[in-house]
Structure 1
Amino acid sequence: MVFIGIVNTEPRRRRSVLVLSGNPGDAADVADTLHAFDASAASIGDAAPSAPGDDDIATADIAVVLDAEGLDAVRDRGGSFRVVAFVDDPVAPPATDPLVDAIATTPADLDATLRWLVRREESTLDHANERLRAERDRLLALFSNVPDPAIAYDYVDGDPIVHRVNDAFEETFGYDADRVVGESVDDYIVPTTDEAASEAADLNERLQRGESVRREVTRETAEGPRHFILHVVPIRLDAENVSGYAIYTDVTERREHEAALERQNERLDEFASIVSHDLRNPLSVAEGYVDLARETGETEYLEKATEALGRMDELVGDLLSLARQGESVGETQSVSISALARDAWESVDTDDAELVFDGDVTIDANPTRTRELLENVFRNSAEHGRQSPDGSGGDALTVHVGAVSFRGADGGSESGFFVEDDGCGLPTDECDRVFESGFTTEENGTGLGLAITERIADAHGWDVRALTGDSGGARFEFRTS
């Protein structure tokens, strides 16, 4: 944020000259000769009716002293005035005092000296104003060209009112300067949550106390929330403040990358756990049966080893599927859930189970990944749905697929699809765990099928939930829009 002083371009006033002397008559005579200035005379002494006060001297531009008494009157006084000694003898003590800026010995000399001092100060002022204008232009150019969004603000009744924004702010936040200047920046970019409001209130208190603040924040733009490193600096540090500037460095992509890495690390941990535990068990079983076959010559042990190796192959396939899950599903297109469900059903060993359609819904999805999602749900129903509570096989299974509607957060309607079987259902106290990697209720299950299902749904941006259906079986609902 840039704050620029205003240069006064109004016509300059006549310079004020105060003539000081211990002799009132001498002071008055000299003051009368200074027609080009606002001159006044003051005598020194407690009894003098025109004795100068602090205000008289402090407001003078130039003090003319005629003697030692006049010089003593300005000594140790505050003010930015110049001191001219008007004396007969230039080497007399009042004229040679370090306080004296110039010496005049005749009325004409005094007049010329005063004019010279005035011209010099005006020239100095002109140069100072020129430097101020140049500095203002430089700072304005710097503020406008900062690559990160920046705002200048003034606190009014405790609210940070926008004084100026740069082009980067308009581009990143999507608000034109005309819209936000004069308004509280908090009303536009602070999220409407209690946590964000509390954070903003704390930030405002600290800035008004003169503290500099740097922190990571979430701020609303016209197109949604983004993450920023916020660096806010008040105009005066360690003092009460009403003004300052804030710079927002967008770190949204970095945050998303860090979150993706964190999820990737979590998947690696899952893989390591499954490889070290689940794969080791069938491998040990296979090795044991091979040893028995070698010792006894009985080939039936090799069949058992083959079953264990088949389980390992299934685990490896599921692990590879999990490893392929990412934040992107590739190209999507408009697809029919009924058509994808028929293809997926044919790829799963469903034995005598029946597939029934309760309507159809068209969604935007990646056909290959969505078919894989349906295959895993069907396989879960086929493997777990037939079991009766005692673990034995139950009646023939029916699996329903169809459209479903949801109530949106704004009260509107959202759509999706469901898969529901009429089997034994999900564990009533573990519905929330069915999507965890490795969670299974079957001794020989991998516990990865529904985890893969959730990953594919997440990659599409869908919400998935598991619940008990109307018939008591497992029901999976996918909110796609």
Structure 2
Amino acid sequence: MDIEPKERQSVLVLAGDADEAAGVADALSGVDASSTPVGDAAPQALGDDLAAADAVVVLDREAVAALSGREGSFRVVALVDDPAAEPATAPVVDAIATGAADLDATLRWLEARSESGLGRDEPARTPSRIEQLNAEVTRLASVRTVEEAYRTAIAVADEVFPRYPCVVGVREGEWVEPIAASADVSIGDCDRVRVGRGSVGTAVDTGEPAVEPRTAEAVPYRTLLALPVGGDTVLQLATDEDGFDADDRRLAGLFASHVEETLDRIRADEALRTERDHLLALFSNVPDPAIAYDYVDGEPIVHRVNDAFEETFGYDADRVVGESVDDYIVPPTEEAESEAAELNERLQRGENVRREVTRETAEGLKHFILHVVPIRLDAENVAGYAIYTDVTERREHEAALERQNERLDEFASIVSHDLRNPLGVAQGYVDLATETDETAHLEKTAEALGRMDELVGDLLSLARQGESVGETEPVSLEALARDAWESVDTGDAELVLETDVTIDANATRTRELLENVFRNSVEHGSTGSRAEPDDSVEHGSTGSRTESGDSVEHGSTGSRAEPDDSVEHGQRPGEECDGPLTVRVGAAAFRGDDGESRHGFFVEDDGCGLPESEHDRVFDSGFTTEENGTGLGLAITKRIADAHGWEVRALAGDAGGARFEFKTT
């Protein structure tokens, strides 16, 4: 009587990670599966588990190492993502599976081949041809190349179809060339066949099996069965009988499907390896910083970095691999961290991301175009590549162009308005002088032209303030202040140098900065009489002024300005600012937004002071409270400070006057 096969085989899953081993064991169906973490198993306990196992599934190198020196009747299956990597390449491995479904099929094939489906203590029955085929085709699971697949297919055919010699043919252009053949068939005796001719040519051409009866007496085989196994490959079985029966054809079709699946797997693996090699080459050689990442518990964990990443961000691969990239290069601000969290959510959903970001580099904050490519789009994703393209110079260039356009707008506004007004006045007085022949009108014309000269001088000074001061050097603030004070007509005003400090600056442009601040203080807080409404007050240019009317630029003594002469310092109608003007210069210390100490200098006067509402406006180009003021002096001051990389602010002084602070470090 026939011996019934046992219902389920025993499968043991081995891995260094207990959870991983248990997960695979739970996913197996149709077998009695158990798992053992090799790091925790005692030698004797592992030996007992192996003795009871029909098959062993290994997931990593630790599992393969645990089998070293152990013998048994079990077969070993490697469950891997990459058939070309460990543990699949270990000599102890009998078969390879690349997924759960593939693992189930592989275990069934191993069971048939090793007769593990029979009762251990009963005599074995002769396996059926289908069982024999299933056992033999497991040899295809471990092949790595197409050529090896051809040779293995011939060997399997010789076992399953011993009466039918087998030949493998491959299409090359318009011909099907014989590539491999059974041992008792010489390749040299096999003819190539034109595509579309005979059973072989027809099978390759149509993709369908074809049978060819052969009647010529010189032909050694009477019937040929051609089975396509992919777009360009065909299996050919031959018999000296009149044909193949239905069982033979069904079995041959099943065999061909296994060969086709194997060829598809190998070609897919080769394509993946080629793509992987190309990606690795691109990854290593791309000039932009790049990382390969995996998401673990919602964090982008670095798997690999290229040389450009190490150079740009200042971290060696050993430092960041295995860590969250966000912890190293995302700026520690609420905005940046929120942006990074939103990006992580999108990437884990499998979205492709391209956006501009700011990241912390070895040289400070820089702007990048972040291009992140998940391995799988539109699917739950846990891995991918991120490339950072530095666009800092482009951003700075765009910002410089924007500032340049703003300056052009300022110049256009001043030219179109402030210069046009005195030009119109001058033209009007010239016309009157021409009509009335009275030269007194020409004096007013001269005043208007002087006003235009001041505006042109200030505009030229403003235009000379570039984006950078160029070379700087350590200079004495006291020496610069004395030189600047001597260049300004200060009248009876007094300069007090409280402390000397050395600053890193461009001496020429810093002296011009101080001249503008001194001139502003003297003109708007001097002890001389205030200018009449049509007198120039706040000019800001560094050259000598045209002496006309009651100009207070020169610091003449006398009563303060009339109530309608308020200027940038905020004198209100009815207020008096009596007494000699004192301007103090000295070192200053500040507390930065980050809590760190900063240093710089200040210029403070005891004049009429600045209304608090105007503290933020006094540096705007064109801002002035005077009818004839240009509003450019303090704008020039700020431009020079910006070119040095300094911060400047206006506020109320201790004595009620105006105070200007320059933060230089």
Match of 1:317 among 428, 433, 457: 457
Is 1:447 the counterpart of 2:631? The answer is: yes
The aligned amino acid for 1:13 is D
Report deviation, 1:394.
Answer: 4.3
Report deviation, 1:137.
Answer: 3.5
- Name the structure 1 match of 2:435: 295
- Name the structure 1 match of 2:29: none
CA contact (8 A) 1:17 1:37 kept: no
- Name the structure 2 match of 1:71: none
Report deviation, 1:291.
Answer: 1.6
- Name the structure 2 match of 1:373: 513
3-state SS of paired residue (1:152): strand
- Name the structure 2 match of 1:45: none
Is 1:456 the counterpart of 2:640? The answer is: yes
| Mapping of residues 81-160 of structure 1, within 5 Å | 90-97=243-250, 100=253, 135-160=275-300
- Name the structure 1 match of 2:492: 352
Q: Provide the C-alpha distance between the structure 1 equivalents of 2:246 and 2:238, rounded to a whole number of angstroms.
A: 10
CA distance 1:129–1:265, change in 2 (3 Å): closer
Count of aligned residue pairs for this structure pair: 423
Q: Provide the C-alpha distance between the structure 2 equivalents of 1:430 and 1:245, rounded to a whole number of angstroms.
A: 51
The aligned amino acid for 1:398 is T
3-state SS of paired residue (2:613): coil
CA distance 1:354–1:300, change in 2 (3 Å): farther
- Which digits, 9 at most, give the CA deviation of each residue in 1:70-109, with x for residues without a partner? xxxxxxxxxxxx9x99999852222234852669xxxxxx
- Which digits, 9 at most, give the CA deviation of each residue in 1:155-189, with x for residues without a partner? 00110100001111111111111110000011111
- Name the structure 2 match of 1:382: 522
Q: Provide the C-alpha distance between the structure 2 equivalents of 1:465 and 1:355, rounded to a whole number of angstroms.
A: 21
Q: Provide the C-alpha distance between the structure 1 equivalents of 2:596 and 2:266, rounded to a whole number of angstroms.
A: 67
Report deviation, 1:29.
Answer: 3.5
CA distance 1:87–1:152, change in 2 (3 Å): farther
Match of 1:415 among 591, 599, 602: 599
- Name the structure 1 match of 2:571: none
- Name the structure 1 match of 2:142: none
Match of 1:9 among 89, 95, 114: 89
Q: Provide the C-alpha distance between the structure 1 equivalents of 2:376 and 2:491, rounded to a whole number of angstroms.
A: 78
CA contact (8 A) 1:215 1:230 kept: yes
CA distance 1:95–1:294, change in 2 (3 Å): same
Q: Provide the C-alpha distance between the structure 2 equivalents of 1:240 and 1:131, rounded to a whole number of angstroms.
A: 23
Q: Provide the C-alpha distance between the structure 2 equivalents of 1:207 and 1:367, rounded to a whole number of angstroms.
A: 52
Is 1:264 the counterpart of 2:404? The answer is: yes
CA distance 1:237–1:352, change in 2 (3 Å): same
Q: Provide the C-alpha distance between the structure 2 equivalents of 1:361 and 1:431, rounded to a whole number of angstroms.
A: 26
The aligned amino acid for 2:90 is E
Match of 1:406 among 580, 586, 590: 590
Q: Provide the C-alpha distance between the structure 1 equivalents of 2:610 and 2:255, rounded to a whole number of angstroms.
A: 102
Mean Cα displacement is larger for which, 295-304 or 445-454?
295-304
- Name the structure 1 match of 2:329: 189
Q: Provide the C-alpha distance between the structure 2 equivalents of 1:128 and 1:325, rounded to a whole number of angstroms.
A: 64
CA distance 1:276–1:225, change in 2 (3 Å): same
CA contact (8 A) 1:85 1:100 kept: no
- Which digits, 9 at most, give the CA deviation of each residue in 1:359-411, with x for residues without a partner? 21110111111111011111111111135472488433221111222223454
**Which runs of 5 or more residues in structure 2 are unaligned?**
1-80, 96-108, 114-123, 137-155, 163-234, 531-559, 566-575
CA contact (8 A) 1:289 1:302 kept: yes
Q: Provide the C-alpha distance between the structure 2 equivalents of 1:411 and 1:93, rounded to a whole number of angstroms.
A: 89
3-state SS of paired residue (1:216): strand
Report deviation, 1:412.
Answer: 4.2
3-state SS of paired residue (2:600): strand
Q: Provide the C-alpha distance between the structure 2 equivalents of 1:460 and 1:148, rounded to a whole number of angstroms.
A: 31
Mean Cα displacement is larger for which, 296-305 or 368-377?
296-305
Is 1:219 the counterpart of 2:359? The answer is: yes
- Name the structure 2 match of 1:230: 370
- Name the structure 2 match of 1:469: 653
3-state SS of paired residue (1:405): strand
- Name the structure 2 match of 1:107: none
Q: Provide the C-alpha distance between the structure 2 equivalents of 1:297 and 1:227, rounded to a whole number of angstroms.
A: 67
CA distance 1:168–1:290, change in 2 (3 Å): same
Q: Provide the C-alpha distance between the structure 2 equivalents of 1:134 and 1:213, rounded to a whole number of angstroms.
A: 25
Q: Provide the C-alpha distance between the structure 2 equivalents of 1:258 and 1:123, rounded to a whole number of angstroms.
A: 55
Report deviation, 1:351.
Answer: 2.0
Mean Cα displacement is larger for which, 93-102 or 155-164?
93-102
Match of 2:423 among 283, 294, 301: 283
Q: Provide the C-alpha distance between the structure 2 equivalents of 1:85 and 1:298, rounded to a whole number of angstroms.
A: 128
- Name the structure 1 match of 2:616: 432
- Which digits, 9 at most, give the CA deviation of each residue in 1:118-161, with x for residues without a partner? 9x999998887677655543332221011111111000011010
CA contact (8 A) 1:333 1:366 kept: yes
Q: Provide the C-alpha distance between the structure 1 equivalents of 2:82 and 2:636, rounded to a whole number of angstroms.
A: 60
3-state SS of paired residue (1:308): helix
Report 1 or 2 for greater relative contact order, CA contacts < 8 Å, sequence distance ≥ 6: 1
CA contact (8 A) 2:112 2:134 kept: no
- Name the structure 2 match of 1:210: 350
The aligned amino acid for 1:9 is T
Report deviation, 1:65.
Answer: 9.9
Q: Provide the C-alpha distance between the structure 2 equivalents of 1:293 and 1:306, rounded to a whole number of angstroms.
A: 12
- Name the structure 2 match of 1:69: none
Q: Provide the C-alpha distance between the structure 2 equivalents of 1:429 and 1:123, rounded to a whole number of angstroms.
A: 80
CA distance 1:429–1:16, change in 2 (3 Å): closer
Report deviation, 1:294.
Answer: 1.8
- What TM-score do you get using the length of structure 2 for normalisation? 0.58
| Mapping of residues 32-47 of structure 1, within 5 Å | none
3-state SS of paired residue (1:380): helix
Report deviation, 1:431.
Answer: 1.6
- Name the structure 1 match of 2:663: 479
CA contact (8 A) 2:516 2:633 kept: yes
CA contact (8 A) 2:586 2:603 kept: yes
CA distance 1:122–1:235, change in 2 (3 Å): closer
CA contact (8 A) 2:650 2:658 kept: yes
Q: Provide the C-alpha distance between the structure 2 equivalents of 1:376 and 1:260, rounded to a whole number of angstroms.
A: 24
Report deviation, 1:453.
Answer: 0.3
Report deviation, 1:302.
Answer: 1.3
Q: Provide the C-alpha distance between the structure 2 equivalents of 1:438 and 1:123, rounded to a whole number of angstroms.
A: 79
The aligned amino acid for 1:402 is G
Report deviation, 1:35.
Answer: 10
3-state SS of paired residue (1:232): strand
CA distance 1:99–1:207, change in 2 (3 Å): farther
CA distance 1:233–1:300, change in 2 (3 Å): same
The aligned amino acid for 2:249 is T
**Which runs of 5 or more residues in structure 1 are unaligned?**
20-26, 40-60, 67-81, 104-116
CA distance 1:189–1:86, change in 2 (3 Å): farther
